Homo-oligomer: A and B are copies of this chain.
Amino acid sequence: MDMMGRGPARVAVDLMGGDHAPEAVIAGIRIAREAGHASVVAVGPADLRASIESETDAEFVVADQVVSMDEHPAAAVRSRPESTMAVGCRLVKEGAADAFFTCGNTGAALAAGLLYIGRIPGIKRPALATVVPATERVPVLLDIGANADCKPENLVQFAMMGREYARAALGTDQPTVGLLNIGEEPIKGSQLALAAHELMKDTVPGFFGNVEGRDIPQPPVDVIVTDGFTGNVAVKLIEGTAKALLGAVADAFRSTLASRLGAALAMSGLASLKDRLDPDEYGGAPLLGVDGVLLVGHGSSGPEAVASGIRMAARVSEQGLPSRIAATL
């Protein structure tokens, strides 16, 4: 469904997704509504109807089953057709919502998206993408886990979908694309990377060539393409490295009296850094290639992250993301 020029989008929101659901989700809906980001359809068990209606101006749709964070995704989604995941995706499929946002089990969201929204015709493998928080140019990285094994032609489609996401989500004009590889030269890499490079150089607009692991945080391109195994390791490694490093910086500050004083003085600068590196700014991970907008937020999302996800889901819907992806085929 193409929302271009149709005004603010309707975003279905999973009330039961994430570690702090439903409270953080309800608070996030309130923030998003106050900012006028989108109209919201809250999806959750009937006993939440009263709080939604008293605390927000969102519509309410009942979904009486829940898929929890640690279940086997595909099986849980299939066996629970009235789960918030399933109902949210069906609202998108039926056109009752333009997008679905959930902070729940990522695997279950992928399974529900494939089962209830379905692929854009011609897209072989939908891919999960993310915007990597970085200090300057923020790249779109995909696949980050939907496809542990990929073929070269899948990576070509990931490139095309990543470019459309960079346009719709970040407003990037002519997105450039790098292939994640283990050397800059075209002759470097795994069998997959070698074959993908050959295909991409002839078919992907703005193809830059190979980029390496060290380039991800300060990339020379707008979109970085890889298989879902490498991409998943990469995003979790960035998260882990940042956590370990900032923790170590904090420890170093605590180590002497002078450094404790120094840390207090440096706090304002560090707080602005924290804001710039906050992944919640970018609203979550879209499943690209399904025929609708499906965005998965971090399980630990608080109210601000939920609001940011709703805003992003609305924005890319209003930009007509699925039709734009279909048009690249």
- Using CB atoms and an 8 Å cutoff, list the residues of chain A in contact with chain B: 134-135, 145, 148-149, 180, 182, 188-191, 193, 212-218, 226-230, 232-249, 251-256, 258-259, 261-270, 272-273, 276-277
Contacts and interface: CB of A to CB of B under 8 A. Distances in A.
Given A255-B268, A265-B261, A190 B244 contact: no
Given A148-B190, A261-B262, A249 B232 contact: no
B258 A273 contact: no
- Counting chain B CB atoms within 10 Å of each CB, which of A218, A226, A233 scores highest? A233
Contacts of A261: 262, 265
Contacts of A189: 148, 229
Contacts of A227: 190
Given A216-B237, A266-B266, 20 more contacts: A148-B191, A149-B190, A182-B232, A190-B229, A212-B233, A212-B236, A213-B234, A213-B235, A214-B239, A216-B240, A217-B237, A237-B237, A237-B241, A241-B241, A252-B266, A253-B269, A255-B272, A259-B266, A259-B268, A259-B270
Contacts of A237: 213-214, 216-217, 234, 237-238, 241
Contact of A229 (B182, B269, B276): B182
Contact of A217 (B135, B218, B244): B244
B233 A213 contact: yes
A71 to B, nearest CB: 11
Contacts of A244: 134-135, 217-218
A243 B229 CA distance: 24
B240 A217 contact: yes
A166 B245 CA distance: 23
Given A218-B240, A248-B135, A213 B232 contact: yes
A269 B252 contact: yes
12 contacts: A148-B188, A182-B229, A213-B237, A214-B239, A214-B240, A216-B237, A241-B242, A241-B245, A245-B246, A248-B273, A251-B269, A259-B268
